[in-house]
Chain A
Amino acid sequence: MVLPTITRKESVILELLSGGQEKYGLEMVEASGGELKRGTVYVTLQRLEDKQFVSSRQEARPAPEVGIPRRLYQITSLGERVFAARQAADAAFSGSLIPVGG
């Protein structure tokens, strides 16, 4: 089986969600330290949902509150496996690198 490719931004999102805790998009932007932007985070999350690495649901709101409900995101088991595999691949790759001139 071929390891699915994930971009740097997708990897950052999976890392932030890897604790198993649900998060809002804005929370992820703030926690990423500038790696994720407000304009791109939801497009990336949509892509991750398409790949089934992430699932989402609308937040439950108490009755008197109105307006657009926010969305909560959670990593799926497939997403966790892909992220773990990606981390292992990164570690193996960086460990096998020979320094220039070494």
Chain B
Amino acid sequence: MLTKPIGNDRKITWPTRWDCVRPRRLRSSALLGILPMLLFVVGCTETLAPRIHRLPMPAPKAHQMAALSPADTDLSSAASTHAGLGTYPFPEGVLAGVQIAGVIHVWNSSQASCIHMPGNEDDVDYGGVNEFCGTNAHCVWGATINSRGVSTPAQACPSTPPGPYYSKRSAWVDTILVGGSGAQALAEAVRGPSSLESNVCGSGPCHIVSGSQHVTLSPLAGDLDVRGFYSGQAGRTVVVPPFTHTIGYYSIAFRDSATPRAARNTAMPFQAISWAWHKADPAAVADPFWHSTDIAQCPTRLTAPLTSNTCNLDVKESGVLTSVTRVNGVSHTDSVCVQCSVTDPQGAIPDSILNLQVVRTAMMQLADSTNGHDPNPNLRREQVAVVIRDNSTGQVTVYTQLQDSSKQCLSWWRPITPAELSNTEIVLAYIHTHPIVAGERIRCDATHSTNRNPAPSDSDIVARNNVNSRADYIAAGWAPDWYVVSMDGVFKMDATNSRRSQNSVAEWYHGLCAWVRSDDHNGQIIRRNW
């Protein structure tokens, strides 16, 4: 890539309106859109910069909480009434917040003797009334929620002699487990039995009960959280050493967990439904001795009352582990990607930039954008990106489409300067593409066709030297790494610009270590919108 001044033949759609005000410091958030017109907008408001939007990426799983629909019913005061709340046919159950609100009214004949109320009438809450006929205590007109073979609240009537034998609380609330197999799946509100006392006292009824209570059942929201655990890592991206014939697999623990783990000391119910393993390169040839990853190692047994379900999988190629698991009655899908680490070819240490999932994803995205497989070479375009880290937050951001314009054999772009970023931000790396396959014979416009080296060109070495040796870069302590992405590999230019830069450090489309497209939520990719 040759860094060139912008000529008059450039075709850029300029904003149609310029409301320049006082100069202001440009932030990286605004930087992306204004790079091609840096000189012109330093006195303009950020709002005039072309819009920036983020490419659609998988939403953070932490925000995919989901719950079954709540249910409610009015429970009549009529004895032994059943009012359905729903069916939850899940053996592990569903954790739900429940409430029985309101009171019913109980009137007693003056000739009745079993119910003890001042003035012979009063309001009664969900607990019902503890009646005494002789020495027999009997709880009547209470309200409960029945499911899973259990009635709650378990001890409805509030008291025994000498009383009081009822209460008038406005509501009962709790978190309970409902649902199950067979008949236990049903959740319903149930009114307790009536008084044992005779139905007739003199010329009228012994008791008249009226009103109703409102019963609600609200399943709790939950989410599936799958993590991979390997060598001190615990996350949605696990990086392992490359697979070799000598070391053909790495044992990675994938753990299903519910979020939240529990509520009111009850584990959030979950049930693993299926595990799946997707190779990054489905055509990757397995090692003849080790073969491919066998997902049958992952169990889907009933886990309740455990709070997690672990699959210890011998992973034999890069890929994505996907779990479908029911969490509190809702089916969720979550995944963990396994990537091979890349070692710096110059240092035999892990490449701290290439091993960032956000950088890999951005590189694959750049490879897409560069259109490098198009049979018409003039429809291919070099792409340029920059990796910026905010040292105050650790956030790594990849800005793509940094170029002002480009062809398939060069691009025009400007390096980002320390003055354009905040003092906590630093340029970690520049990335640009060569839209070619190694050894491909191709022409640039009408020029002679060549078999182009996919690795950094001599011009790249010049550009790198010119940028990295800038006085402001040196003063800021910036020494960005430079990467070249061809259609079948990525090259890291070494610090001395030696021919070792021609070594490829990853062959990312194919093989046992093919790269995985995924975002680990630790960084973001922002594309300039023309």
- Do A and B associate with each other? no
* Partner-A contacts on B (CB < 8 A): none
